[in-house]
Structure 1
């Protein structure tokens, strides 16, 4: 809750808090597990860790607990993605899996559009090469 308006709820609270973000991310990773381009970018021996990191990042971004930054420091998303070939094909595959996961949540049209707009912008910002 905001100090300026004690009745205001965060987006994170409004859409269901951690359980909603965990459902989103677990569904997203179910798609990643089937993707031959994206799966190698994730730690084969620690997919659960990747799930927890993305869940923590998203919930912090949307007004939930700040554990992500407490544990990992500033998100520095572009820097963290530099070691990977994030080209338009990888971006589009990531977005395909995230769109499918978001559709499973059944959010209100406004909440869906709000979350999707961020995810789409973030995915485009992660592109670091136009090579294959």
Structure 2
């Protein structure tokens, strides 16, 4: 018996779940003393754009690449922002709080993949934000998966 392993995008709940996540997250950012200055003046579409980016990375539709320039555009948004380690860690903390608040899956396998991606992505963003950095702007869109053979967590039968 063969079964298809769902993408992280599908497991998370698709576009609706990721839009809820980024909406709640950026509401938290707007009132956070560490992150608000970084995102002051962000467009009202910013949360939806980030949701589309995460969705594409997690195996969903390629709408960020098609409408917003893909990974090169995301890299460009971070250039010369001078992000600090404190800001990077706060971003992760608030995003994980938002994930709990909106009910993203909390099984260990999904959360492990989710945290691995946001650790990698925020470290890349911080690195690319430093003065004098010249990142490759032709990088392909990252594709994030479960990270281990066997796929997502399944509750025991009858649970």
- Determine if the TM-score, normalized by the shorter chain, exceeds 0.5: yes
Please state if 1:113 is matched with 2:109.
no
Aligned equivalents of 1:60, 1:88: Cα separation in 2: 26
Q: Which residue of 2 aligns with 1:71?
A: 67
**More helix per residue:** 1
Give the aligned CA root-mean-square deviation in angstroms. 2.2
Give the counterpart of 1:50 among 15, 30, 46: 46
User: For 2:70, what is the secondary structure of its paired residue?
Assistant: coil
Give the counterpart of 1:16 among 13, 20, 24: 13
Gaps of 5+ in 1: none
Aligned equivalents of 2:23, 2:87: Cα separation in 1: 19
Q: Is the 8 A contact 2:18 2:55 kept in 1?
A: yes
- 1:98-120 CA distance string (max 9 Å, x none): 12112222512211111111011
Give the counterpart of 1:60 among 37, 42, 56: 56
Call closer, same or farther: CA 1:59–1:32 in 2, change over 3 Å.
Answer: same
- Which structure: larger Rg? 2
Call closer, same or farther: CA 1:42–1:67 in 2, change over 3 Å.
Answer: same
Aligned equivalents of 1:124, 1:25: Cα separation in 2: 19
Give the counterpart of 2:100 among 88, 99, 103: 103
Give the TM-score, by structure 1 length.
Answer: 0.81
Once the two structures are superposed, the pairs formed by residues 88-99 of structure 1 within 5 Å of their partners are: 88-99=85-96
Q: Is the 8 A contact 1:26 1:51 kept in 2?
A: yes
Gaps of 5+ in 2: 132-159
